[in-house]
Each structure stands twice: as C-alpha cells, then as structure tokens.
C-alpha cells in the first residue's frame, strides 16, 4: 500500500493503512481512500479545517467492511468510528482529536443519515460522495451491482416508466434512487462546485448507456 498518495501525512498513512481496509470490496479499497483524500485535499485547500483530523478520518472511514445488502449497512460508519477510536487511542492521540475523527467517520455515510457538525466531517462527507458520482461513481455502481448479483437494467422497462425503481435488481436504477440525489446534499461550496461537474458526467453516462441499449 502506498502512503505517498496521502501527502503531506505519509507518516500517518504508514501507521493507519494496515488497518484501513478490510474485506475484498474493490469499491472500498485503498484506491478509493486515495481518491477520497484527493477530493478532501482539494476541498480543504478552499475551505480550511484541521488537516491531520481530516487525513485520519479519510484513511479510516471504511475500516469496517459491511456489504451494501447487509442488514448492518446503516451501522457501518458507527462500527468504523469505534474501531478508529481504538486505533488512535493506541497511537496516543488526545481524546478531543479522537472524538473529532470519530465524528467525521460516523457522519460520512449516506446510510447512517447523521448530519456532520464539524468542518472536517463536512469535508469528508463531500469528498466521499464525490467518489460516488461522475465517471468513477458510475464504474463503482456497476461494480457493486455485479457483487450483489444484480442485472444491468430491466430489458422490458429500463427507465422504469411503468414500474418502481429497484436498485437491488437493476444497476441503472441506482442512478435515480441515490446517485442523482447526492448533489443536493453537499456541505461546502468547494464540494458543491466539484459535484456539479461530476453530476453532469453521471447524467451523460446514463444517457449514452440508454442510447446503446
């Protein structure tokens, strides 16, 4: 695992990366952490906040793996926050800093439905959601659908004109049930600006997909 992608917190990445990823989910792997940190750094540069808190939260926000179709999915961020707190405590972090990292991890998740209160938590949520939209977001959507055994689309009614959306059965339904909705929930001005660009890309992916089928 490369810590260089987490500059300027390479030392912190060296300490935390061995604990940062569990399971074999390629949509929540080290590459995902690197992309989220890239997003977080871009937002942090514009919005401010405590970089070390943000870096630790980014590195550990998916440190407990829970599949998308698991009944425990809504608890994933709480489980990750608890694990992260223990890891940072072992490294001698101050309790206020541990609490700040844990809050950011707890509130980053769409499934958890908990609003972020600190700037670092808002940045992490924005940075993570940026990876769910745009070209990478589309790729992750199809990847996860494959893991869950879903089809790409309903051949009888791909746009759900005469049925309810069902993203457990059809991958492209997830664009409507979740992905297109994410852009309205961004917390920071810098995050919203980036999200608008990626949202346009995501719409193009779906439009071209529908044209081909």
| Per-residue pLDDT tens over the stretch 45-76 | 999 999 999 999 999 999 988 766 666 667 88
The 8-class DSSP code of residue 188 comes to S
Span 31-48, pLDDT tens digits: 999 999 999 999 999 999
Q: What does the alpha-carbon distance between residue 96 and residue 67 come to, in Å, rounded to a whole number? A: 30
pLDDT of residue 114: 87
Q: pLDDT value at position 39?
A: 98
User: What phi and psi, each to the nearest 5 degrees, are found at residue 151?
Assistant: -85, 165
Give the tens place of pLDDT for each residue, 161-187.
Answer: 999 999 999 999 999 999 999 999 999
Q: Where are the domains of the chain?
A: 1-116, 132-213
In tens, the pLDDT along 68-116 reads 666 666 788 999 999 999 999 999 999 999 999 999 999 998 777 889 9
Per the CB < 8 A criterion, the answer to whether 33 and 58 are in contact is yes
Nearest Cα neighbor of 131 from 37, 16, 46 is: 37
pLDDT, tens digit (0-9, with 9 covering 90-100), for 132-159:
999 999 999 999 999 999 999 999 999 9
The pTM (predicted TM-score) of the whole model is 0.92
Question: Which pairs count as long-range contacts for 166-173, CB under 8 Å and 24+ apart, including other chains?
Answer: 168/69, 170/145, 171/141, 171/142, 171/145, 172/206, 172/209, 172/210
Does the domain at residues 132-213 carry the CATH identifier 3.40.50.620? no
């Amino acid at each position: 695992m490369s810590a260089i992608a987490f500059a300027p917190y390479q030392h912190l990445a060296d300490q935390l990366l061995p604990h940062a990823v569990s399971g074999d989910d390629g949509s929540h792997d080290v590459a995902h952490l690197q992309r989220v940190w890239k997003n977080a750094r871009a937002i942090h540069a514009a919005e401010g906040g405590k970089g070390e808190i943000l870096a630790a939260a980014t590195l550990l926000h998916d440190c407990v793996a829970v599949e998308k179709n698991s009944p425990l999915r809504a608890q994933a961020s709480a489980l990750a926050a608890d694990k992260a707190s223990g890891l940072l405590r072992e490294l001698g972090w101050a309790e206020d800093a541990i609490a700040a990292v844990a809050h950011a991890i707890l509130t980053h998740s769409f499934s958890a439905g908990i609003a972020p209160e600190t700037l670092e938590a808002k940045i992490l949520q924005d940075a993570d959601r940026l990876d769910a939209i745009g070209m990478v977001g589309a790729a992750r959507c199809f990847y996860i659908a494959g893991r869950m055994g879903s089809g790409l689309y309903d051949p009888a009614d791909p746009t759900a004109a005469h049925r309810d959306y069902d993203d457990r059965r059809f991958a492209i339904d997830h664009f409507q049930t979740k992905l297109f909705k994410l852009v309205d929930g961004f917390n920071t001005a810098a995050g919203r600006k980036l999200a608008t660009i990626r949202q346009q890309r995501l719409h193009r992916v779906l439009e071209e997909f529908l044209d081909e089928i």
